[in-house]
Amino acid sequence: MAEAMPAAPSLIGRRIRKLDAPEKASGRTRYIHDLEVPGALHAKILRSTEIHARIVAIDTSAARALPGVHAVITAADVPWQRPIGVGKDHLPLKTDRVRSLRDEIAAVAADTEEIAEAALRLIRVTYAKLPVLADVTAAMAADAPQLHEGRPGNVAMTFDYAQGDVAQGERESDVVIEDVFRLHYVTHCCMGVSGVIAEFDPAGNLLLHSNTQVPFLHKREFAEALGIDPARIRIIQPPIGGAFGSKLDIYPFEPIAIFLAKITGRPVKLLFTREEEFLASPTRQPVLLKLRSGCRRDGTLTFRTVETVHDNGAYTSWGATTPFVMMQTISSLYRVPHCLYHTAAIYTNNPYAGSFRGYGNLQATFAVEAHMEKLAEAVGMDGLAFRLKNAQTAGEVTPQGMQFKSCGFQQCLETAAARSDYLRKHAAYAAQQRAPGPVKRGIGMASMLHVGGGAKIYPSDGCGTILKIDDFAHVTLMTGASEIGQGSETVLAQLVCEELGLPLEAVTVVNNDTDITPWDVGVHASRTTFIAGNSAIGAARKARAKILAAAAQKTGLTEEALGLAGGCVVRRASGERLFELGKFLRGLHFSDRAELVMTTFYYEPPSRHQDREFKGDVSAAYAWATQVCEVEVDSDTGIVRLLKVTGAHDVGRVLNRLGIEGQIEGGVVMGQGYALTEDLMVDHGVIRNPNFRDYKLVTAPEIPEMDITFIETLDGEGPQGAKGVGEAPAICIAAAIANAIWNATGTRIYALPFTPEHVYRALHGAAAPPAWTGGA
Amino acid sequence: MSVNCDIAFTLNGVPRRLAVPADMSTLELLRDQLGLTGTKYGCGEGECGACTVLVDGASVNACLMFAVDCDGRELVTVEGVVAGATGQRLRDAFVASGAVQCGFCTPGFMVQASHLLGQGRAGGEAEIRRGIEGNLCRCTGYRKIIDAIATAAQGGDHG
Ligand code: FES
Ligand code: FES
């Protein structure tokens, strides 16, 4: 096997096989759906059939009487329940009012899923309808009913950011443009549906098998919702069938399963159906965005004024906080001296948005990169030169306070443009716009900036590691970082092996049990490789130092003269093997000096934390990328085919080439779905297409050719120089495709998705551009 | 509650006889009654391919087939696929090509790919892409799955 090297070249940058892949490809991995807990009951949730209504009465008597039913609960049975979620505005079981179709009214625990479903059908709910707030306009109307106490105007959250003076910026501008953009609903579509297993032991300790991305912080969330001591909660994460941000919050089904476990005294397993997954798991944040931008005749950007209104849905989850990321792109992707940014997230009776890979950045980049293209044309510059003129460089501290210590942005632009033959094709395709025939080609570019060195959304961003080496030189790495399919387990093992000169098989990673693993703030914000990676390296270096110190004593050589390679202690200079590591460790374990258990924590280096005005640094490093999309547009059908994506990504350094390629390719295709095929149709509070037949994910025949180049800027703080990359590849695709359609047809489309019907209408002048309805 | 029916069929090469409810799907039979959890529930409506199994050599969505219809047939699941030489070659190629991320879709792709290989329908990029059109993957973007199948079709993993 390639990884089992002799006294060895570096593992960094190699194609390392994912540790969990053989088991997964054999169908032997046991996801939450596959776990059998002896004695477990099966739970189902009754959801509202009204979009907005008072609950007048709930009759559960017939359901309770059904044989095989162990519990039927409503809010009345759990008077101690507390609100959950980012806005703490959401009771797991609704008391007197439902605010969206997904709302949980009752739940059943029964011997089988079938009995639980039959019981749900026996529950009678009487509603008194209330007016439906179907969109933000209705919700902002002066006479609109208030959806939540203490939230006048149905405002869930607002965000304001300012730098410089946009009025002055506008005065200094030779060109000023303003447009409104509309971004739609999409949802995560994890292939494994949501689920949880809850059980209490006789002492009242809660064990949760959960797919959460945030095990440690969610212990506290659950404890608060349940009114119990967080120290009595243990969370085990089985392998997770996809997450992409969807598991960053807690949702009603989790406390509900816990209520049922508590009330029945039995383990309770609750799994969604696919339809439920569409209806009751979070979405990406839909946004209406007004952007006003300007530049000088020489192409220097002068100002940006941005106003956005977000349909928050009925409750508040992380989706409401995406402006935090959006404003970074607006203020700091390119150098802009003057910026003004305002967002309001407005409660409606629609589904509510959570966090989703890219976290607001897809929406912000869509608007910003449309204006980069339009401004360039207005001043007669090509899109590449215009972007290069305004692109950030290493060493920059932006007016928002972000510090770009490593920054390969200009290289990303140049590389992606050169490899895609952007300038030549752009000119050639533009010249073809009026040529006969319905099928036209176009090429478009977009770039992105995203956190790549952790994210200080909490007071700090840390991760712990415990590393032990047994007497056969087998390493167990216990890390707080969760694996969600992205390959963190493998990259952490790789970083440890690099330090200790061991093959990948010599490492077992334990990463899924809060009683064992050290603290971490969760898998999000592309932070795991950077934060958990640095933490793992710290532990491995401690182990290395201990081993070399002992070896120096034994050999009489200095520690500096020794090294670890190929599973041996070696002479550093010559690579000569001195002794086999396992054998040496056996000796050490029997001595009184061993202590071969290492602990470390890594926290991001000190920096200026963001203040209330959102000024400060949010990450120890930032990732950059430019993606160029080439499309074919058929004006007779409205079909847009994505032919090729040329990406250049500043990733700091490639650690596992196989893993990072997979992240980029998967992200590109997710971005393609966002742009071209996916559309969660929300119509007056109702999701019209809660299934894969009508909600179209990209399939294999449609994927583009992908040409990906990694720009290695070797970040000084990154583990082996690496930066985070998980979210980056999905961010630019829709923006680049919009620019490509413009290049192909001369038509600028301001609203997503670019499904055939929308594109056809836009190309034939039958679609009005989005109007600003976000208020004054 | 529904009527039980006796069925006899071959599962991964082993003859089986059992009684199944008339309204049970083959997916439920495999997962809930027989404990073969490699076959996954992704949608229950024939739209995702996570539940793909081979029935008399044809690839079928187990969620759409009644368990009673297994009577008299030969079923192969992912567990059976990886027990054979083609399945092992595929598994090695999936691992070496990086075709697995969360892995939830992977068993379905493995079974579908073994079907394509068995039928001689993995001859090139376009044919492979068409052959896995019915299987959804949210993580990988399909590129490495296509590569893995091509590698296995050429006789081995490239790792
Ligand atoms: S579960 Fe059978 S096709 Fe999706
Ligand atoms: S690997 Fe996650 S869905 Fe395919």
Question: In whole angstroms, what is the distance from residue A44 CA to residue A529 CA?
Answer: 37
With 50 as the cut, is the pLDDT of residue A652 above it?
yes
CB distance B61 to ligand 1 below 6 Å: yes
Is some CB atom of chain A closer than 8 A to the CB atom of B37?
yes
At A383, which helix (H) or strand (E)? Answer: helix A383-390
Does residue B148 share a domain with residue B98?
A: yes
> B141–A25: do the CB atoms touch at under 8 Å?
no
With 50 as the cut, is the pLDDT of residue A8 above it?
yes
Share of chain A above pLDDT 70, in %: 99
Q: What pLDDT, on the 0 to 100 scale, is given for residue B1?
A: 54
Last residue of a domain, one of B38, B53, B77: B77
Q: What pLDDT, on the 0 to 100 scale, is given for residue A591?
A: 78
Contact between residue B119 and residue B83 where contact means Cβ atoms under 8 Å apart: no
Residue nearest atom 4 in ligand 2 by C-alpha distance? B137
Tell me how many domains chain B contains: 2
Question: In whole angstroms, what is the distance from residue A755 CA to residue A733 CA?
Answer: 15
Please tell me the CATH code under which domain A48-130+194-271 is placed. 3.90.1170.50
How many helices (DSSP H) and strands (DSSP E) are in chain B?
6, 5
Q: What pLDDT, on the 0 to 100 scale, is given for residue A3?
A: 37
Does residue B140 share a domain with residue B107?
A: yes
Does residue B104 share a domain with residue B56?
A: no
Does residue B91 share a domain with residue B52?
A: no
DSSP per-residue letters across A206-262: EEEEE--S-HHHHHHHHHHHHTS-GGGEEEE----S--TTTTSS--THHHHHHHHHH
Mean pLDDT, residues A649-656: 97
Q: What pLDDT, on the 0 to 100 scale, is given for residue B156?
A: 67
CB distance B42 to ligand 1 below 6 Å: yes
Backbone φ/ψ region at A189: left (φ over 0), alpha (ψ -120 to 50), beta? left
Question: In whole angstroms, what is the distance from residue B97 CA to residue A27 CA?
Answer: 17
For residue B105, list chain A residues with Cβ-Cβ distance below 8 A.
Answer: 191
Q: Which CATH architecture has domain A21-28+462-602?
A: 2-Layer Sandwich (3.30)
Question: In whole angstroms, what is the distance from residue B52 CA to residue B114 CA?
Answer: 11
Question: In whole angstroms, what is the distance from residue A247 CA to residue A213 CA?
Answer: 5
ipTM of the complex: 0.97
Share of chain B above pLDDT 90, in %: 95
With 90 as the cut, is the pLDDT of residue A538 above it?
yes
Of residues B72, B85, B147, the one with CA closest to residue B114: B85
Those residues with Cβ within 8 angstroms of residue B47's Cβ, 6 or more apart along the chain or in another chain: A691, A692, A693, B136
With 90 as the cut, is the pLDDT of residue A327 above it?
yes
Q: What is the tens place of the pLDDT at every residue in B87-139?
A: 999 999 999 999 999 999 999 999 999 999 999 999 999 999 999 999 999 99
Mean pLDDT, residues A22-49: 97
E strands, B12-110, in order? 14-21, 52-55, 58-61, 74-76
Does residue B24 share a domain with residue B73?
A: yes
Question: In whole angstroms, what is the distance from residue A245 CA to residue B28 CA?
Answer: 30
CA distance B75 to chain A (A): 16
Ligand 2 — pocket residues by CB below 6 A? A 191, 242, 485; B 100-106, 137-140
Question: In whole angstroms, what is the distance from residue A637 CA to residue B139 CA?
Answer: 29
Of the candidate CATH numbers 3.30.365.10, 2.60.120.10, 3.40.50.300, 3.40.366.10, the domain formed by A287-393+407-455+611-763 belongs to 3.30.365.10
Å from CA of B60 to ligand 1 middle: 10
Domains A21-28+462-602 and A48-130+194-271 share a fold: no
Those residues with Cβ within 8 angstroms of residue A750's Cβ, 6 or more apart along the chain or in another chain: A179, A180, A181, A182, A370, A769, A770
Token readout for A525 is 């914000």
With 90 as the cut, is the pLDDT of residue A604 above it?
no
Q: Could you say which ligand is closest to the alpha carbon of residue A244?
A: 2
Of residues A690, A728, A699, the one with CA closest to residue A193: A690
> A242–B138: do the CB atoms touch at under 8 Å?
yes
Mean pLDDT, residues A564-590: 93
Residue B158 lies in a domain: no
For chain A, the residue count is: 776
Does residue B133 share a domain with residue B88?
A: yes
Q: What pLDDT, on the 0 to 100 scale, is given for residue A9?
A: 80
Peptide bond just before A252 cis, omega within 30 deg: no
Last residue of a domain, one of B77, B109, B139: B77
Q: What pLDDT, on the 0 to 100 scale, is given for residue A112?
A: 96
For residue B49, the domain's CATH number is: 3.10.20.30
Nearest 5°: phi and psi at A600?
A: -145, 160
Question: In whole angstroms, what is the distance from residue A591 CA to residue A620 CA?
Answer: 41
CA distance A724 to chain B (A): 17
Task: Note down the domain range covering B119.
Answer: 84-153
Report the residue of A19, A24, A689 to disrupt the B interface, i.e. the one with the largest count of B CBs within 10 Å. A24
Buried b (16+ CB within 10 A) or exposed e, B117-128: bbeeebeeeeeb
Atom of ligand 1 nearest to the CA of B44: 1
Q: What pLDDT, on the 0 to 100 scale, is given for residue A213?
A: 92
Question: In whole angstroms, what is the distance from residue B86 CA to residue B113 CA?
Answer: 10
Last residue of a domain, one of B77, B100, B132: B77
> A662–B128: do the CB atoms touch at under 8 Å?
no
Atom of ligand 1 nearest to the CA of B51: 2
For residue B133, list chain A residues with Cβ-Cβ distance below 8 A.
Answer: 699-701
Mean pLDDT, residues A542-549: 95
With 90 as the cut, is the pLDDT of residue A22 above it?
yes
Token readout for A721 is 């120089």
What pTM value is reported for the model? 0.96
Q: What pLDDT, on the 0 to 100 scale, is given for residue B37?
A: 98
Does residue B133 share a domain with residue B100?
A: yes
pLDDT band at A5 (very low <50, low <70, confident <90, very high): very low
Residue B159 lies in a domain: no
Å from CA of A486 to ligand 2 middle: 10
Domains in chain A: boundaries:
21-28+462-602, 48-130+194-271, 287-393+407-455+611-763
Residue nearest atom 3 in ligand 2 by C-alpha distance? B137
For residue A30, list chain B residues with Cβ-Cβ distance below 8 A.
Answer: 37
For residue B113, the domain's CATH number is: 1.10.150.120
Does residue B104 share a domain with residue B63?
A: no
CA angle A127, A131, A137 (to 5 degrees): 150
- Name residue, tokens 């700090």: A460
Q: What pLDDT, on the 0 to 100 scale, is given for residue B158?
A: 45
Nearest 5°: phi and psi at A221?
A: -60, -45
Q: What is the tens place of the pLDDT at every residue in A126-140?
A: 999 999 999 999 999
Share of chain B above pLDDT 70, in %: 97
